[in-house]
Amino acid sequence: KKDAMELLLDPTLFQMEDRSIQYWKIIIDNLMSQDTTTFRDFMGRINMNQANTLNLFSNREQECEQRAQLLKRLAFVLLCSEKDQFHKHVPEIQERLVDTLRMPQSGPGIHAQVFLCFRVLLLRMSGHHITSMWPIIVSEMVQVMIHIEHNLSTDSEEFRRNTSSHIRLLSGLDWTWVVNSNNGLHASSNPQWLQLQLAAVKLLSVAIQLPADILPQFQMYKWAFVGRPELSQNEQNPVEFVPHVLRIAKIMDSKYGSPIETYPDTLLPTGSTARSLQDLHPFFSALSSGEPHPSLDSSISQLEQELELDFLEPIPSR
């Protein structure tokens, strides 16, 4: 048990080939299932408030990386479990994630791992167990959608003229923070911001693809992200609020040339990193068009396989 826990916490755990992850899922599942106290002990390790007191003299960058790695391992532990195996721990898990989001020093890398945890929870918990999480999930996704739109449109006069107060009300954001150039939002090529943006988009992709009977709560919020394509095209009946996906797709089409006519087999990059926001263009374009695409109609097993690949990290060359 001790050796297995040490391996779980090892910084190089995810530096493996994709075929190896299935074996690790079995190992971690057995580790957490054989003794009911193991998961409780593991949760104690990712107590963010405790981490603040234990790392007074640590480097901020190292501390953020450590927290991000702990959250990634929490997501992996949940992925290795059976459906609803840890449903009794959902309030505690939610508390850890909320504490992380509220930490003033948590950066985009940490937030990306929170989105990874949310994504796993959608696949591993029944809808009624995560009802209380939806306001948090939606609020965080909206913030990232606004980040993406802001990155794409910072220099656009149309953006400055048409910024809707409705979006501010929906997101509950401090709008001055969103457009503050000192917070890193302008660094659209920053790897950690791209990682966060990709993580949020992949979470949205899973939420959209899961059947309504599995995620009934999301149906109340879906309109904010995905609407009918004709809404954005109907000039005779303009609407004040245009769903985020349609807004972003329109800006991307303008920024990157034209709407995509031939979509790739995979709409989003495999793994947890993107080279630029342009890598997300196929997803937003396909979703806004309303046209069917295999990547927008995946089975639950396919969604889980894609999720597994996002845990993998490059194996260092020797």
In a domain, 249, yes or no: yes
Question: How many angstroms separate the CA atoms of 290 and 232, rounded?
Answer: 12
Average the pLDDT over 52-56 and give the result: 48
| Cα separation, 289 vs 230, whole angstroms | 9
Between the ranges 81-85, 105-109, 223-227, 266-270, where is the mean pLDDT highest?
81-85
Q: Which pLDDT score is estimated for 266?
A: 86
* Helices assigned H by DSSP within the chain: 2-9, 21-34, 36-45, 48-54, 60-80, 90-102, 108-124, 134-153, 157-162, 165-171, 175-178, 191-209, 229-233, 244-255, 281-289, 300-309
229 part of a folded domain: yes
Kindly state whether residue 190 falls inside one of the protein's structural domains.
yes
Q: Where in the sequence is the domain holding 33, given as residue range(s)?
A: 4-311
Say what the pLDDT of residue 48 is: 56
Residue 280 CB neighbours (<10 A): 23
Residue with more model confidence, 297 or 305: 305
Calpha distance 126→21 (Å, rounded): 24
Establish if 316 belongs to a structural domain: no
Task: Count structural domains, the chain.
Answer: 1
Residue 155 belongs to some domain of the structure = yes
113 in a structural domain: yes
**Inside any domain, residue 317:** no
Global pTM value: 0.85
Span 163-215, pLDDT tens digits: 554 444 444 444 343 444 444 444 456 889 999 999 999 999 999 999 999 99
Residue 238 lies in a domain: yes
Counting residues of the chain whose pLDDT is more than 70, the rounded percentage is: 81
